[in-house]
């Protein structure tokens, strides 16, 4: 049977158990030109909260009653005259929160579990890694000697942003929640410093760590921290707007950055990015990140939970911060 | 005698008569290498409000007790071995709100009252014109067919932004306060449309005028209108942050643009600008704008008040909007 998590109610504020409904259906039959994929791992991302809202965004809002949208990785267990994929292939795509999918494979790509573990293909070598790599290089335009600040520094995107910036010769300061994450960011990932926003005065500590200010701020969180970063820009600084996790569940509406005139004072730029724009360069990004991983220059960490029925509580960890690295749900039952 | 307006108190919120004090001092004597300039016209600009605040900005804050900072234009009435200027020359510089100045002439440039009237040199051929020209071409990166929105459309900067954008082949919509200004913007300046923010629903009207959205928003006002513009961006849109006149007197602190995640959705850019960065290209900008004026393609309008003692109430017109075009104060007494 195929367990599927359906999106059944648009949340107002935080999503909760009533947002989804678990259904069990027969495993779908494939048509000519399709493959049947048994899913192993589902990617959990803060962007999911945005997909639940109505209204214009960078992607169509999810429809009520549809399978919860998610990136995923699994194995082809049956194929009927498919032009690219055969039985036994491992593939990654947006198959959603379900155990099986019958698909023509549009947007799917083959992955090799002998090179890195499967969950890495929905993490560092998947969308979060591509977001980090193209965001910091193409939008952040980092160069040697830059001072770079990254929020969500222990997360799937932020952890890679900082490591790429280090490789490119920047001084990198992270922001993360709690001493354990900050220790990981500095000791394991090699950031120059990490500010614990839950226990430290971010503004003061940032002043100490970056006395001459910031050249790049890679923003995953929005809210107060975006304002603090705006207050410490150097001339011609770049702010990469990748996300705003602190605001996604805000029922009172988004908090705008009241320090935005710092863009004028410092002739700075704030630019939004969506990873899909780099789709034709994913292979290039994955190759570079993969090589750096093989050389030990980039560390990738996944935090893996089990059981499709545990999706709601696992999803919640994105917003409580109770996870370390890329959040993944194993949905295959062994 | 030399009437001088001194800046004597930092305002909290709006500046008022107590912000300045009028003093009468002897006309200064010049040293070797200096000129004595008799000032004719003083430029009044929204940026003045920012100069009164303490704290880091794009220019040093004014010191208490100093002559009120202002751009100006006047005539050299005495020169002592000055390398560039001689008696009779007309010059423009930042001489402040006073009738005479003894100066080495740093930052001053010669102007020709036979080509355009003197006040135009502190308007369309001065800082406001340069701000408009370099802002919309270099930061706004306008190209043929773009849809451009300009706030403060009847003002010194906005009026030139829109006319330059029209020359470059854009569709241009202005925002201004009141039917008289809107009529001027459309009938005289040739904008395609102008929205009266005091009497119309800006959001609805903007939707009608720009059904496919905006490629460029040139922002002089900030606040609600910036948020409305953010809500109508097209892909890869550019927002030029030139000023935020709606917020300068806000005692509750700046309102940040709560719609800023539209930058992400639309892969758009918000960039701040300060005209001083283009100082080495002013001659180029003034030549181009001057030619367009001579060809009748650009109209320049100054709203001229008289008497240095009327500075406070004239300044106030910047914020009430009770003026049309570039606001100028004539300080020479005839």
- Whether residues B263 and A256 touch (CB distance < 8 A) is answered with no
Contact A265 B227 (CB under 8 A): no
At residue A195, does pLDDT exceed 90? Answer: yes
Q: What pLDDT does B251 receive?
A: 86
Is there a contact between A261 and B241 if contact means CB atoms under 8 Å apart? yes
For residues B328 and B306, what is the distance between their CA atoms, to the nearest angstrom? 8
DSSP string, A239-302: EEE---TTTTT-TT-PPP-TTTTHHHHTT-EEEE--GGGGGGGHHHHHHHHHHHHHTTSS---E
pLDDT tier, B153 (very low <50, low <70, confident <90, very high otherwise): very high
Least CA distance to A224: which residue of chain B? B256
Are A262 and B268 inside 8 Å of each other by CB?
A: no
Predicted local distance difference test score (pLDDT) of residue B55: 87
Using the predicted structure, report yes or no on whether residue A334 has a pLDDT greater than 90.
no
CA distance A41 to B117: 73
- Helix axes of A282-294 and A127-134: crossing angle, nearest 10 degrees: 100
**pLDDT at site A56:** 85
Q: What is the mean pLDDT of chain B?
A: 96
Asked if B261 lies within 8 A of A277 by C-beta distance, the reply is no
- For A271, which of B254, B261, B263 is closest by C-beta distance? B263
pLDDT value for B59: 92
Yes or no, beta carbons of B264 and A254 under 8 Å apart:
no
- For A143-152, what is each residue's pLDDT tens digit? 999 999 999 9
**CA-based end-to-end distance of chain B:** 13
Mutation pick from A54, A265, A276 vs chain B, by most beta carbons of B within 10 Å, is A265
Whole-number pLDDT of residue B253: 83
Which of B38, B43, B41 is CA-nearest to residue B101? Answer: B38
CB-CB: which of A222, A260, A272 is closest to B266?
A272
pLDDT digits (tens, 9 = 90+) for A99-143: 999 999 999 999 999 999 999 999 999 999 999 999 999 999 999
Reading phi first (left if > 0) and then psi (alpha if -120 to 50, else beta), residue B261 is in alpha
Chain A contact probe: residue of B261, B277, B278 with most A CBs at under 10 A: B261
Q: Which of A260, A267, A273 sits opposite B277 (nearest CB)?
A: A267
pLDDT in tens, B268-322: 999 999 999 999 999 999 999 999 999 999 999 999 999 999 999 999 999 999 9
C-beta of residue B65 within 8 angstroms of C-beta of residue B128 = no
Q: Give the pLDDT of residue A307.
A: 98
Q: Which domains does chain A have, with CATH numbers?
A: 2-123+302-330 (3.90.180.10), 127-276 (3.40.50.720)
Mean pLDDT of the B192-216 span: 98
Give A55's pLDDT tier (boundaries 50, 70, 90): confident
pLDDT at B205: 98
**pLDDT tens digits along B237-249:** 999 999 999 999 9
pLDDT beyond 90 at B100: yes
B267 in contact with chain A, both atoms CB, cutoff 8 A: yes
- The upper half-sphere exposure of residue B244, i.e. CA atoms within 13 Å in the direction of its Cβ, equals 27
pLDDT-derived band at B94 (thresholds 50, 70, 90) equals very high
pLDDT band at residue A230, thresholds of 50, 70 and 90?
very high
ipTM value > 0.90: yes
The CA distance from A82 to the nearest CA of chain B, in Å, is 34
B150, B209 contact by CB (below 8 A): no
The percent of residues in chain A predicted with pLDDT above 70, rounded, is: 100
| Spatial distance between the Cα atoms of A245 and A63, rounded to a whole number of angstroms | 22
Task: Check residue B150 and give its pLDDT.
Answer: 98
Chain B: give the shortest CA distance to residue A261, in Å: 7
Give the pLDDT confidence score for residue A320 in this predicted structure.
Answer: 94
Question: Is A271 part of the contact surface with chain B (CB cutoff 8 Å)?
Answer: yes
With CB atoms and an 8 Å threshold, state whether B241 touches A254.
Answer: no
Contact between A263 and B270 using a beta-carbon 8 Å cutoff = yes
Summarised one tens digit per residue, pLDDT across range B55-83 is 888 999 999 999 999 999 999 999 999 99
Taking residues A164-185, report their average pLDDT: 98
Residue A242 contacts B, CB cutoff 8 Å: yes
3-class secondary structure, B137: helix
In a mutational test of the B interface, the residue from A50, A233, A241 whose CB has the highest number of chain B CBs within 10 Å is A241
Cβ–Cβ under 8 Å, residues A175 and A152: yes
Burial degree of A148 (CB within 10 A; 0-12, 13-18, 19+) = buried
Q: Cβ separation of A254 and B272 shorter than 8 Å?
A: no
Burial of A184 per CB tally in 10 Å (0-12, 13-18, 19+):
buried
Phi, psi values for residue B175, rounded to 5°: -125, 130
Q: Which of B254, B265, B277 sits opposite A258 (nearest CB)?
A: B254
- Give the Å distances, CA to CA, from B40 to B68, B98, B179: 16, 10, 32
């Amino acid at each position: 049977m195929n367990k599927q998590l359906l999106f059944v109610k648009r949340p107002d504020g935080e999503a909760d158990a009533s947002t989804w409904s678990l259904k069990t259906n027969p495993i779908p039959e494939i048509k000519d030109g399709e493959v049947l994929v048994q899913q192993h791992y589902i990617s959990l991302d803060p962007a999911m909260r945005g997909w639940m809202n109505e209204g214009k965004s960078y992607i169509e809002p999810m429809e009520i009653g549809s399978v919860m949208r998610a990136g995923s990785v699994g194995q082809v267990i049956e194929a009927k005259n498919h032009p690219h994929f055969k039985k036994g292939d491992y593939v990654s795509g947006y198959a959603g929160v379900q155990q099986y999918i019958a698909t023509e494979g549009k947007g799917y790509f083959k992955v090799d579990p002998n090179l890195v573990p499967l969950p890495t293909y929905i993490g560092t070598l998947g969308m979060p890694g591509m977001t980090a790599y193209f965001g910091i290089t193409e939008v952040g335009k980092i160069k040697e000697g830059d001072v770079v600040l990254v929020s969500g520094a222990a997360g799937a995107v932020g952890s890679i942003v900082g490591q790429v910036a280090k490789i490119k010769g920047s001084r990198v300061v992270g922001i993360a929640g709690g001493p354990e994450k900050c220790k990981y960011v500095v000791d394991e990932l090699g950031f120059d410093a990490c500010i614990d926003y839950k226990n430290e005065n971010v503004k003061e500590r940032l002043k100490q760590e970056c006395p001459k200010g910031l050249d790049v701020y890679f923003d995953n969180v929005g809210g107060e921290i975006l304002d603090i970063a705006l207050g410490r820009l150097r001339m011609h600084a770049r702010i990469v707007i990748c996300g705003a996790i602190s605001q996604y569940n805000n029922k009172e509406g988004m908090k705008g950055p009241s320090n935005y005139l710092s863009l004028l004072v410092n002739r700075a730029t704030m630019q939004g990015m969506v990873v899909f724009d780099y789709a034709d360069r994913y292979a290039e990004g994955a190759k570079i990140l993969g090589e750096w991983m093989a050389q030990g220059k980039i560390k990738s960490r996944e935090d893996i939970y089990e059981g499709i029925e545990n999706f709601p509580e696992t999803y919640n960890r994105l917003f409580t911060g109770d996870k370390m690295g890329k959040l993944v749900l194993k949905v295959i039952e062994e």
